[in-house]
Structure formats: C-alpha cells, structure tokens
Chain A
Amino acid sequence: MPRLSSVFLTLAAALFALPFVTIVLAAFGTGWSTGLLPEGLDTAAVAGVLTDPRFQAALGRSLAVSGAALLLSAVLMVPAILAGHIYWPALDRWLARLVVLPYAVPGVVLVVGYLRVFSHPALALNGTPWILVLAYVPLCFPMFYVSIKGALTGLPIADWLDAGRLMGLRDERILARVVLPMIAPQILLGVVLGLGILLGEFVYANMLVGGRFETLQIYMYAKRTESGAVTAAIILFYFLTILSLTAASVALSRQRPAR
C-alpha cells in the first residue's frame, strides 16, 4: 500500500510539475515548433524580458500599487481587527462577514461600481493609479483578517490589558509593546499573501487603468502575441515570484505566537 501511494504521489507531482517544466523549456528553448522538445536552448528571451525597460517599469508600478494598497490595508485593518477582537465582539462578527465581500461579489460588478463612484468630480480618480490602490485595499482585507485573527485567538490579551491597567499602563501601550510584536509575523503573512494576489491581479488593473498605467499583468497581456518564448519568460518570472512569496508565507505561518 505505501508503495502504491508513492507511485500515485509521484504521478501527481509529475502532473503538477509538467506546466512548470514546459514553461521553463518554452522560456529557454529555441526552435520549438516541430518536435516534442525544443531544438536548442538560450537565455535570450529571459534576458530580453529582464532588461526590457517596459518590463522593469511595469514591475515597479505593480510593486508600488501593491505596496501602497497593502500599507493602507494594514493601517486600516490591523487596528480594526484588534478593536473588534478586544473591545467590540459585534464589530468583529461584522468584520468576519464583510471581509469576504470582495471575493463574494464578481470583480466585474465591483469594477463597474468603482468606475461610477470615482467618476464624479470630488472623487474623480478614474484612470489614475489611485483608483487601483483603493480598489486593491479591500482585496487585501481577507488575508489580514484570517492571519491576524488566527494569531489573536488564544492570546490572553484581556489578561495582559488587565495586568497593564493594574500597573498604570494604558491599553495602547500594552497593545504596542506586547500585542503587536506578538502578531507581527501574522501581519507580515497577510502582507505576503496580499502581495501574491495583487501581483497576479488582472481584472481590476485592466478595467480600471488599462494601458494608461501598465502593471505586470497588463504588460504580460500586451506581450502575449509577440513571441511564445517572451510570454513564457514573463510567466516564469511571475511564477518564481509567487513561489518565493508562498514559501515566505509558509515559513511565516509556522511562526506561532508564544503563549
């Protein structure tokens, strides 16, 4: 039985590895049009993408928009989650329901809503990177909520606050000096997971800003017809980035807060 399991596992691993291997071959292969394997290998397509100023600019834009959205999300969500968990359980219940909304409502519907809201003069942000930042903020909420809430559950925060009050220390001081350091790995986990999602996001970017603010995904879309090797090189880069972020998130999620 264990032997049979290992056969199935190997087959499953091979099946999952196949797209990755194919992408690597496509990115580094030359003359791959007739045979099962490419005729030769070279790094021209990968080097070409990595040195392409347009790619670098798109990557920079993606990182900037994602970073701004994640920062804004963290600033909004961490205090809200803490407040809900510690002081207002009713708010906490609402948060748990609300954070899934960006995923429960189809992206296209949300985008149409955003375009209407942000077309009026006072909030006229359509076509600017800011609308993308604001649209990305709610997408990050579930990552923060799930990872931080998981860390908070089980921490004796009420006791810490009581101990602080008896020492004459304000709640803010206990939150800053004890609670935040204890949940820091989970906040970072929320950032890493959020970054993984935002770097791969296409629907919002395409519909809200499109070619006016070319992000990584828009660049990838624009390059799709140029050459198979170039597309494969972009996908390979993107895949390796997501793989690194996933590895980082796995490592962070193993860092349980000390009880």
Chain B
Amino acid sequence: MTFLTVDRVCAEYGATRVLNDVTAHVAEGEMHVLLGPSGCGKTTLLRAISGLQAISGGSIALAGRRIDALPPADRGLAMVFQHYALFPNMTVRQNLAFALGRRGLGRARIADNVDRMLEVVDLTPRADALPAALSGGQKQRVALARALVLEPRLLLLDEPLSALDAQIRKRLQLELKRMQRQLGLTAILVTHDQDEAMRMGDRISILNAGRIVQSDRAETVFHRPADTFVARFLGEANILPAHLIAPGRAGHAVIHPAAFEIVTDLPLLEAEVVDTEIMGQLVRIHCRAGGEALRVDRLAGYGAERPAPGDRLQLGARPDAVHFIAPTSSPSVPDNTSPDP
C-alpha cells in the first residue's frame, strides 16, 4: 500500500525548474532510494517532501493526508542531514533532548525517550560527549538517533553516509538497513552512490534533470534499465547498438560485463582483446567488437591465464542477460508500490 505519494510535484530555484512533474510512490516499511547524478534534483525532492523547499505544483500525501501545505514540523517527518547538522555546543544527550523541546513532554519523559534512543543506536556510553569528540560513524548514529527520537512516520536520509570513509560507510549501510527493518521504518534515502543504492534500497527511483526516469525494485532497475541513461548510470554495463547482438534490430542492447561468457560455438559476438586489468576477484578484459568498446569480466584466480591483446574471443550470454532498449524508449514509472519481500 502506498504510504507516501508524490504527485506531479514541481519546484524551482529562481527561474530554474529543478523538479519537473515528479511522481513517486513509497510503500510503508520500505527503504526507497532516490538515486541520480549531482544536480538531478534528488535532494530538492527530499526537501520538498520535508517542507524545507516550497513546491510550485503538484501534491504530497503521507498516509492518505495531504501534507504539502503543512509546516515541516507538522508533517510527521524527520531528517538526517549529509553533514549531520548536530549542534556542536550540546552533548549527545542534549542534542536529542533539544529535538524534543517543542513536544511539551515532561523532563522525565524526555530523559526516558532519549535514553531509549541512545540504547537503540548503542551510544549510551557517549551520551555526555560533545559531537567534536565523536568519530564520523558515531556522529552519524547521533544524527539518526536525533531523528528517530521524534518518532517520525517517515525518515528522510540525505546522503547520510557520504562523509564517511569507504569501510565505515559499508558497515553503517548494513547497520542502517538492519535498524530500518527492525524498527519497521519507512525511509527515503538520497544518494549518488550506485552501490549504496543497490545495497540499501528496497526500491530505487532514478532521477535525471528533475524527473524520475525509472522507479522499481533494485534488481529490475539494474537488469532492466528503462533507458540508456539509467543503464549508463548504474554500473558499467555495455550499451551496444542492438543490431550487433540481433541483426536488424534497432535501439540498444544492455549486457553487464559479468554476463558475458566465453563460448566455443554460436557466439553473440566475436571480439578482439585490447587490454586486461586485474580488479581484485575479477579480471576485466577490454575488447572491441563491430567498432564498439566492450568490457568483459571473468573470475580471476591467482595465476590464472589472461588473454593477450590481439587475441580473439567468442562471446555469448544467456538470453535473459541481454536487455534491449527500444530507440524511443520512454521512461517507465510503474505504480508498483509493494516492497521487496
């Protein structure tokens, strides 16, 4: 069931339109990722939902009630900011308690709520520390706790992990996802990191130039991109003229590098090896076929033989690993709001 409905929302910064008839649906309990390149409007959309950015058209409804005319604090949302926005002159405990200031709760109730939330994010021992004394990961958890202590119906996450280094980011991605599932939170995560989107998103909406160009389950978006922009943005898929794979066919064929197999008969393509590179567990083979550059990934065991530049490879792929995009493919925004099982 749709929990948040964004319907044909438009927003402008001065004369520049940054959201252009954006429609999105978020189901209850789902982690919905807004993914796109810098400047595509994903943070603006998040801010429009939160009420921090005025919209010039369309509507936003949460749990069936329109919220787009309400002030931010009355929308039942909380937000974790990219750089946390913790109040540096307040301790962790004071940051959380300050957030509850307007709720009219008694001191004892505020203290109980704060203590409970500090336990959830495992920061009780650091309750009296100032933010400057915390690590990046701890700051991120304080920011999350400060948002959760408001008991929001919808949690907005604006690139909350982007300021962290890669290892901590991966660990916190899993932690954040586990917490979201455990608490049954509905959340919208903004990111420009495709891996993070794949790892965390139950559903992903891809934005480009102020529009959602595809919104679907992570697996579908990855393997069945709606257009070449999505295909290019997600990973490093080979986007080839369709006629190279299926003679006479127009449009493009999308094949992920790992989907290629080296075959001995009935090849899809014959390619010439240009170079190879080791990428940890994989060896990437750069080839050319029909004038197009190709990337082919193979598992690389230690000391495994690699093809040499100039070698010719016969490449095949399972039929379901090849996705065709019609030449005039229009963006698809299916109204399927059920979260992943």
Contacts of B52 in A (CB 8 A): 162, 165-166
How far, in whole Å, are A147 and B77 apart by their CA atoms in the complex?
A: 37
How far, in whole Å, are A159 and B146 apart by their CA atoms in the complex?
A: 14
Contacts of A163 in B (CB 8 A): 79, 81, 85, 146
Shortest B202–chain A CB gap in Å is 24
B102 — nearest CB in chain A belongs to which residue? A168
Shortest B234–chain A CB gap in Å is 29
B98 touches A177 (CB 8 A): yes
B47 — nearest CB in chain A belongs to which residue? A162
A258 touches B50 (CB 8 A): no
How far, in whole Å, are A177 and B85 apart by their CA atoms in the complex?
A: 14
Contacts of A181 in B (CB 8 A): 89
B310 within 8 A of A: no
Contacts of B50 in A (CB 8 A): 166
A258 touches B73 (CB 8 A): no
The A interface, classified by DSSP as helix, strand, loop or mixed, is helix
B83 touches A159 (CB 8 A): yes
Shortest B86–chain A CB gap in Å is 8
Contact bitstring A158-181, B, C-beta under 8 A = 1, else 0: 011011011111000100011001
Interface centre among A160, A167, A181, A182 (most CB of B within 10 A): A167
A254 within 8 A of B: no
B132 within 8 A of A: yes
B72 within 8 A of A: yes
Shortest A165–chain B CB gap in Å is 5
A257 within 8 A of B: yes
How far, in whole Å, are A143 and B264 apart by their CA atoms in the complex?
A: 79
With A166-B72, A178-B89, A258-B132 given, is the CB distance from A159 to B81 under 8 Å? yes
B98 touches A159 (CB 8 A): no
Q: Which of B87-113 contact A (CB under 8 A)?
A: 87-90, 98-103
B102 touches A258 (CB 8 A): no
Contacts of B103 in A (CB 8 A): 168
A3 within 8 A of B: no
A259 within 8 A of B: yes
A106 within 8 A of B: no
Interface residues on A, range: 10 to 19
Shortest B90–chain A CB gap in Å is 8
B78 touches A166 (CB 8 A): yes
B81 touches A259 (CB 8 A): no
How far, in whole Å, are A165 and B77 apart by their CA atoms in the complex?
A: 11
With A159-B81, A162-B52 given, is the CB distance from A259 to B73 under 8 Å? no
How far, in whole Å, are A156 and B82 apart by their CA atoms in the complex?
A: 11
How far, in whole Å, are A168 and B78 apart by their CA atoms in the complex?
A: 11
B88 touches A162 (CB 8 A): no
A166 touches B89 (CB 8 A): no
B259 within 8 A of A: no
How far, in whole Å, are A163 and B72 apart by their CA atoms in the complex?
A: 10
Contacts of B89 in A (CB 8 A): 178, 181-182, 258
A184 — nearest CB in chain B belongs to which residue? B89
A156 touches B85 (CB 8 A): yes
B87 touches A258 (CB 8 A): no
Shortest B335–chain A CB gap in Å is 29
Contacts of A159 in B (CB 8 A): 81-83, 85
Contact bitstring B142-155, A, C-beta under 8 A = 1, else 0: 00001000100000
A258 touches B131 (CB 8 A): yes
Q: Could you list 5 A-B pairs, sorted by A, with CB under 8 Å?
A: A162-B52, A162-B79, A165-B73, A178-B89, A258-B88
Q: Apart from A166-B77, A177-B87, what 9 extra A-B contacts exist at CB < 8 Å? A: A160-B85, A163-B85, A163-B146, A167-B99, A167-B100, A167-B150, A169-B98, A257-B88, A258-B130
Interface residues of B (CB under 8 A from A): 50-52, 71-74, 77-79, 81-83, 85, 87-90, 98-103, 130-132, 146, 150
